[in-house]
Amino acid sequence: MQINQIGRTSHSPTALSLALVVLCTTMSQAQEARKPGPDRGANTPNITTDTGKPIGDDRRSLTAGPEGPTLLEDFYLIEKIAHFDRERIPERVVHARGAGVHGEFICTNDVTELTKAGFLSQVGKKTPVFTRFSTVVLSKGSADTARDVRGFAVKFYTEEGNYDLVGIDIPVFFIRDAIKFPDLVHSLKPSPVTNVQEAERYFDFFSATPEATHMLTFLFSDMGTPASFREMDGFGVNTFKWVNAKGEVRYIKYRWKSAQGVRTMTDEQAKIAGGLEPATLTKELFESISAGKFPSWELQVQVILAEEFKKFDFDPLDDTKLWPETIVAFRPVGRMTLNRVPSNFFEMTEQIAFNTGAYVPGIEPSEDKLLQGRNFSYSDTQRHRLGPNYQQLPINRPRNPVVNDNQDGQADHMIRQGDINYEPSTKEPARVGTNPRYRMTRTPLTGMAEYSAVTKGDDYKQAGDRIRAMDPRDRDHLLSNLTGEFKKVKRREIVTKQISHFYRADANFGAQLAAANGVALDQIKLIAGTKPESR
């Protein structure tokens, strides 16, 4: 199959070995997740599908060339994520603990040259929204002050259907390919043996995942313990496409900029606050809004053309990287104000269902490998958690009419009339089944269907830039927070391996980490200095 994407920097596809990656535990053979390892031998068990079929690559999704979109024919990717989505009943697998609030979005800037999205078509246009803040990893009953990524999801009830902007409070992510999302979450969740979250498990994963280094510089800084949902920025992380009325395409990234500023807690403050009141952030949000202190955020976007990808020394669709503002500035779009606490927590906050695949005309997914997997995973999770008709629940129901032939199933409340539940039909020709106005933009493709890794850029440059840009207090907190976590890890080779990633990002900070954790700097240098194929 020959598939290729036109309009982006072209790379000649390289043949990837189908051999399974070796997980080396010796410090002199620190693994790099990008490179497949040598053959593990005929007697070594091979990872398989649930039907027992051996798989050739558990590190990369099947894509249309190095820069193309993920292919639906990757059965293992779909099976792995679908199984992962069904692991918890009925609690959300991720984002279980959350606080939701009603509000309003107002378009404040003319962006019609960028997108034909109706809710952004006119300055002053208002759109109702529902926003849910959450922790990602821990259970519904956990403290919302715990060190974790914070979800920042907004549902826009537009005249053209619901649009879900599903983000977090950190501008980058741990991984760049959706096929590793179940593994990431498994490592962060409580052990299946002890039912306790264990630092040794997630640092075992992170130490073998170099691209996570950048994210760790955020998570283990004070950004990992925000003091307030109101005083927290949000980021779309993924790259999306905006399409204007002429069919012209731009690639964009989102940011919610808090009008209240950003406020965080130290690790010690977060533990004390969570011990006194597990719902500290939720309580503060609800009490502020109930008192008439309505928080607001400015929605901003970074915008580039496909041909501008060459500006970057990394793949702009890599979610472990951010677009430097020195290269692409943010521009304002609108303002969101949250002004009403839900009247029923379960009916609204618990039953709200976000889906990264819920777009409106003028907004489309990019070839972002992580986003391509999320677009399946989120809706699949909601169908499992709330049933196939979850979109009919009041909090999820679009404000415009729904017209399609989906029918029946658990909790179906749609009242349909007549016997035409198919398309096309000569008996009901007035119903439009095809409309060029709403078609997705055309994307010419060419190349080989292959398990492609991102080949442009490295995993350490932006992590090092962030460490060096921190003020001394924040850098000291990052050092102490990581050191506190490393003390919980019994296998010291994991700590050594993890420190070597920070050393490659910034040698001075890596040396400080080594000293604080009693690891010989020569060992760190040895691992950090080895060639990628031997790591």
Residues in the chain, total:
535
In this prediction, residue 344 has a pLDDT band, given cuts at 50, 70 and 90, of: very high
Helices 267-276, 472-486: crossing angle, 10 deg rounding? 70
Whether 447 is covered by a domain: the verdict is no
Query: Residue 534 has what pLDDT?
Result: 39
Whether 211 is covered by a domain: the verdict is yes
Whether 121 is covered by a domain: the verdict is yes
Specify the 3-state DSSP secondary structure of 342: coil
Q: What is the pLDDT of residues 108-154, one digit of tens each?
A: 999 999 999 999 999 999 999 999 999 999 888 899 999 999 999 99
Q: 54 versus 489: which is more confidently predicted?
A: 489
pLDDT tops 50 at residue 207: yes
Query: Residue 173 has what pLDDT?
Result: 97
Whether 156 is covered by a domain: the verdict is yes
Helices 181-188, 369-386: crossing angle, 10 deg rounding? 60
Is the distance from CB of 486 to CB of 350 less than 8 angstroms? no
Whether 194 is covered by a domain: the verdict is yes
CATH of the domain at 140: 2.40.180.10
Query: Residue 41 has what pLDDT?
Result: 54
Task: Identify the CA nearest to 147 among candidates 231, 226, 224.
Answer: 224
In this prediction, residue 420 has a pLDDT band, given cuts at 50, 70 and 90, of: confident
Query: Residue 431 has what pLDDT?
Result: 67
In this prediction, residue 19 has a pLDDT band, given cuts at 50, 70 and 90, of: very low
β-strand partners of 168: 151, 235
| Alpha-carbon span 354 to 351, nearest angstrom | 10
Q: What is the pLDDT averaged over residues 86-92?
A: 70
Whether 412 is covered by a domain: the verdict is no
Specify the 3-state DSSP secondary structure of 233: coil
Is the distance from CB of 79 to CB of 310 less than 8 angstroms? no
Whether 365 is covered by a domain: the verdict is yes
| Alpha-carbon span 507 to 514, nearest angstrom | 10
In this prediction, residue 429 has a pLDDT band, given cuts at 50, 70 and 90, of: low
Q: What is the pTM of this model?
A: 0.85
And the tokens for 368? Answer: 């972002």
Whether 1 is covered by a domain: the verdict is no
In this prediction, residue 481 has a pLDDT band, given cuts at 50, 70 and 90, of: very high
Total of domains in the chain? 1
Q: What is the pLDDT of residues 218-235, one digit of tens each?
A: 999 999 999 999 999 999
Tokens 């307030």 correspond to: 228
Beta-carbon contacts of 111 under 8 Å, excluding residues fewer than 6 positions away, are 120, 242, 301, 333
Q: 326 versus 431: which is more confidently predicted?
A: 326
Query: Residue 54 has what pLDDT?
Result: 74
Q: What is the pLDDT averaged over residues 311-339?
A: 96
High-pLDDT (> 90) share of the chain, %: 65
Q: What is the mean pLDDT of the chain?
A: 87
Q: b or e along 181-201 (b: 16 or more beta carbons within 10 Å of the residue's beta carbon)? A: bbbbbebbbeeeeeeebbbbb
Task: Identify the CA nearest to 278 among candidates 286, 270, 290.
Answer: 270
Q: What is the pLDDT of residues 160-198, one digit of tens each?
A: 999 999 999 999 999 999 999 999 999 999 999 999 999
How far is C-alpha 420 from the chain's CA centre? 40
CA 389, 395, 400, 401 dihedral sign is positive
DSSP notation for 480-492 = HHHHHHHTT-S-H
Least confident of 203-212, 216-225, 439-448: 439-448
Query: Residue 42 has what pLDDT?
Result: 56
pLDDT tops 50 at residue 16: no
Tokens 């803040």 correspond to: 133
pLDDT tops 80 at residue 11: no
Q: β-strand 249-258 against 234-235: which pairing, if any? A: antiparallel
pLDDT tops 80 at residue 289: yes
Query: Residue 32 has what pLDDT?
Result: 39
Task: List the domain range (segments joined by +) for residue 185.
Answer: 98-392
Q: What is the pLDDT averaged over residues 283-302?
A: 97
pLDDT tops 80 at residue 46: no
